[in-house]
Structure 1
Amino acid sequence: MWAYVWWCIGLFVVTIVLRKLLSVKPSKVKFHFKFILGYFLTFLIALVVWPLMLLRPKDVKNAKATAQIAKHITKLINVRWELRNGQILSEDRGAIIVSNHQYSLDILGMFNIWHVVDKLAAVAKKEIFYIGPIGLTAYFAGTVFIDRKNAKNAYKQLKITTEVMVRKKTKLWLFPEGTRNRNKTGLLPFKKGAFTVALSAQVPIIPVVFSPYYFINEQKSIFNEGHIIIKCLNPIPTTGLTMDDLPKLMNRVHELMDIEFKKLSKEVLDPLPPEYPLASFLRKMQ
């Protein structure tokens, strides 16, 4: 009885502290606290769920179930996600999803739309496997770990995974920029891994574009409430294409995604009031 009372008191105190920290004006404390809170809660969820995954190890259904829990983290850091053309992702077929990559928060965006994609496996750098329970959870959720420093082995691992993807109609999600891109004016050049796999498996490529995180600025220690649009573009078929078509395919996808990113940038930035902390700075970057 008393344990329950103290637990409620503790939860009440933590809630008050969270509200206080998240309501103060921009500061380094608030900025870093939001990121730390996201990482901590992800760590905590992983610590609880990974042992349950042992019942069906490396099944992508584990990822979907975990995402349904982890997606609520964004409510605490006041980020809203809006999915457009989600019916494209819900089609029951194998495919390669490629998206731009800006912050680690992109993963939370994926969590919020995972139920739409249903059968989905993420592709991540191998270093994530060693992050305690997060790495174990990712592993048992069917995440494909690749060594980005060894292109040959990375492609071999993806090739093995692709055969399973086609047979089980599972989608693979990759970030072709290869690293986080904080430049709000456009996309970085793409690496060829995702496109090589798509051509090899003859599966469509589904471009997905995240609008810019206009509410975050590291230099000014700003992390405000925000809204991110996740836009799915029409699938690009690869049937009949060969490796000779690789450069043209990469350029086509990059161009389509870059154009859409700039459209979304304009959409989210234009409504911002002049007094918004980053409004003038972001508009100059357009």
Structure 2
Amino acid sequence: METSGLGGFLRNRRFGSYFDASTGPNTEPPPRAMVDGQQKRAGGHEYYTDDDDTGWFPVLISWVRIVVCFVSMMLTTFIWGVIMVVLLPWPYQRIRQGNIYGHVTGKMLMWILGNPITIQGAEYSNERAIYISNHASPIDIFLIMWLTPTGTVGIAKKEIIFYPLFGQLYVLANHLRIDRSNPKAAIESMKEAADAVVRNNLSLIIFPEGTRSKNGRLLPFKKGFVHLALQTRRPIVPIILTGTHRAWRKGSLHVRPAPLTVRYLPPIRTDDWTPDKVEDYVKLVHDVYAKNLPHSQRPTPPALSENGGSCRTVAS
């Protein structure tokens, strides 16, 4: 089944007029000041605060948005589930269709939620690479589905198969699962993932924290993404997500209209990495995130190194 036309259309249209695509270097809002009891940006422009979205009416609208998101997602999941069954003999086409499903569904869900989005560094968004992202909200999943390039596979916990419809589609799309309760099995799964990536010229997407942050602050990184980089020699493209933890907090059903920023950083080269420095590479990439996140999302001081570290990138 030929899908390149649709995939290209979706990729070219994803930075539509609704979203403010930018390549500016700064993801953090300008300094804020208290003016007449309201937080405002320097220069007098209003900046979103939780107080701007209180009362029963915003909560009701939020619930309606969530219900519409759920119904819409179930509809597209069912449609692409049928497509996946038809494509069972063609694993790579199922990966492509899974990505197209993500582009369509992720963009649709973000449109329904209505959060203003700024995208920066989009020129790094179509590399053959290992994409990594911080994770603090369900919205992160929607953004990653939408914005990762065609030809990308994800790695998730094996229990995802029990998620109604979505979990089954994830498996049908030939994405990868690991058993986090069994370290030996997890290592084998990582090796299989690396082999599949190299063999089929794919990209990977992974949340290196391994779980979702409860308060938006960056958690320590697991080592898996470094092992994948060592085995595939793919560059690492960090995706910095800011504001999602404020828009949809863990355990809440209230989606707030907080502004979001998606920032791609230049690819970090891994072709000269060596297995004896895994911990150093984990720290290096973690420090890159810590330095590029706004203060409210940086790790607590003990986890944030003072000297940071530099990394050699593909882009000069």
Q: TM-score, normalised by structure 1?
A: 0.74
Alignment-derived partner of residue 28 in structure 2: none
Aligned to 1:275: none
Superimposed CA distance per residue, residues 133-167 of structure 1 (whole angstroms, 9 cap, x where no aligned partner):
21121112221111121222122112112112123
SS in 2 for 1:230: strand
C-alpha separation between the residues in 2 aligned to 1:166 and 1:189?
27
- Any idea what SS the aligned residue of 1:160 has? helix
> Alpha-carbon deviation of 1:253?
0.4
What is the identity percentage for the equivalent residue pairs of Structure 1 and Structure 2? 24
SS at match of 2:294: helix
AA paired with 1:88?
A: Y
Match of residue 277, structure 2, among 229, 233, 245: 245
- 1:245 deviates by 1.1
Secondary structure of the equivalent of 2:125?
Answer: helix
User: Residue 52 of structure 2 aligns with which residue?
Assistant: none
Q: Which letter does structure 1 place at the counterpart of 2:154?
A: A
Match of 1:47 in 2: 78
Q: Give the direction of change, closer, same or farther, for the CA distance of 1:51–1:222 in structure 2 (3 Å limit).
A: closer
Aligned length: 238
Measured after TM superposition, the shift of residue 257 of structure 1 is 0.9
- Aligned CA RMSD, in angstroms, stands at 2.5
Going from structure 1 to structure 2, the CA distance change for 1:89 and 1:128 (only over 3 Å counts) comes to same
Deviation at 1:55, TM superposition (A): 3.0
Out of 115, 123, 148, the position equivalent to 1:79 is 115
The residue type paired with residue 113 of structure 1 is: L
Q: Per the alignment, do residues 205 and 134 of structure 1 end up closer, same or farther by CA in structure 2, a change over 3 Å counting? A: same
Q: What letter matches 2:281 in structure 1?
A: L
Contact 2:153 2:202 in 1 (8 A): yes
Distance change in 2, residues 1:177/1:52 (3 Å)? same
- 1:221 & 1:125 partners in 2: Cα distance? 24
The answer for unaligned runs of 5 or more in structure 1 is: 1-22, 267-286
Tell me whether 1:107 sits opposite 2:141 in the alignment: yes
3-state SS in 2 of match to 1:224: coil
1:34 to 1:163, Cα distance in 2 relative to 1, 3 A: same
Q: Deviations over 1:107-144 (max 9, x none)?
A: 11013213xx2211111111111223211211122211
- Paired residue for 1:63, among 98, 101, 106? 98
Pick the aligned partner of 2:212 from 169, 175, 180: 180
Does structure 2 retain, via aligned residues, the 8 Å contact 1:78–1:226? no
2:292 equivalent in structure 1: 260
Deviations 1:185-224 (A, max 9, x none): x310011111111112222111111012233456997422
Give 1:160's aligned residue. Answer: 192
Shift of 1:40: 3.5
For residue 174 of structure 1, report the CA deviation from its aligned partner.
Answer: 0.5
Other-structure match for 1:201: 232
Query: How far apart in 2 are the matches of 1:187 and 1:159?
Result: 27
SS of match in other structure, 2:293? helix
Query: What's 2:166 paired with?
Result: 134
Report the CA distance shift for 1:239/1:218 in structure 2 as closer, same or farther (over 3 A): closer
Q: Structure 1 pair 243/132, CA: closer, same or farther in 2 (3 Å)?
A: same
Q: Which runs of 5+ in 2 are unaligned?
A: 1-54, 299-316
> Is 1:227 matched up with 2:263?
no
From 196, 204, 223, give the equivalent of 1:192: 223
Larger displacement relative to structure 2 (208-217 or 220-229)? 220-229
